[in-house]
């Protein structure tokens, strides 16, 4: 991965809707060359896709939590989390807990229902998310825009 590809990824992480012309200007290259680089980054798996970030608040899902599980039924918990509409992310982890699920619910009552239902698969421990200070991106500190 060369410096220009790192710059392209960095810029796309900040704004995936940027035009190829504007992206080319930012990395000081011709648009066809940048289009080809982006295509190669996609094909090689460096860029896995593009997404839209939706406001949980606007979607009336203001209660967010990380629920840690000491699971006695990993396969059942995996299926439960995969199918539950409030689960945003779910990770199998090593350590004292076996799974961590990030959930977003409409109310404390919905959170309680989730916790109650999940107890069939192990022991949950819930941590409410008060705020977030960093979004998921890879930072390339040597990149200058």
- In this structure, the number of other CB atoms found within 10 A of the CB of residue 137 comes to 10
> Span 28-47, mean pLDDT?
96
What are 39-90's pLDDT values in tens digits? 999 999 999 998 888 889 999 999 999 999 998 899 999 999 999 999 999 9
- Model confidence, pTM: 0.75
Structure confidence at residue 91 as a pLDDT band (50, 70, 90) = very high
How far is 137 from 112, CA to CA, in rounded Å? 31
> Quick one: tokens of 22?
């504007």
CATH of domain 63-128: 3.30.70.920
CB atoms within 10 A of CB 55: 9
Query: Looking at per-residue confidence, does 83 or 1 come out higher?
Result: 83
**Inter-residue contact 65 to 130 (CB < 8 Å):** no
Residues 6+ apart with CB under 8 A from 82: 90
Give the number of other CB atoms < 10 A from CB of residue 106.
13
Query: Where exactly are the structural domains of the chain?
Result: 3-43, 63-128
The DSSP secondary structure of the chain, one letter per residue, reads --HHHHHHHHHHHH-TT--HHHHHHHTTS-HHHHHHHHHHHHHTTSS--------TTTTT--EEEEEEEEES-HHHHHHHHHH-TTEEEEEE-SSS-SEEEEEEESSHHHHHHHHHHHGGGEEEEEEE-------S----TT---
Choose the CATH number for 3-43 among 1.10.405, 3.40.1350, 1.10.10, 2.40.50: 1.10.10
């Amino acid at each position: 991965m060369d410096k220009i590809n790192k710059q392209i990824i960095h810029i796309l992480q900040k704004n995936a809707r940027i035009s190829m012309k504007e992206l080319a200007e930012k990395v000081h290259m011709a648009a066809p060359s940048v289009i080809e680089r982006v295509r190669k980054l996609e094909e090689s798996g460096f860029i896995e896709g593009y997404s839209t970030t939706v406001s949980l608040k606007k979607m009336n899902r203001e209660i967010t939590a990380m629920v840690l599980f000491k699971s006695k039924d990993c396969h059942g918990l995996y299926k439960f989390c995969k199918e539950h509409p409030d689960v945003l992310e779910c990770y199998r982890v090593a350590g004292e807990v076996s799974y961590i699920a990030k959930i977003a619910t409409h109310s404390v009552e919905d959170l309680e229902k989730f916790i109650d239902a999940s107890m069939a698969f192990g022991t949950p421990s819930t941590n409410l998310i008060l705020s977030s200070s960093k979004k998921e991106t890879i930072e390339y500190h040597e990149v200058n825009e």
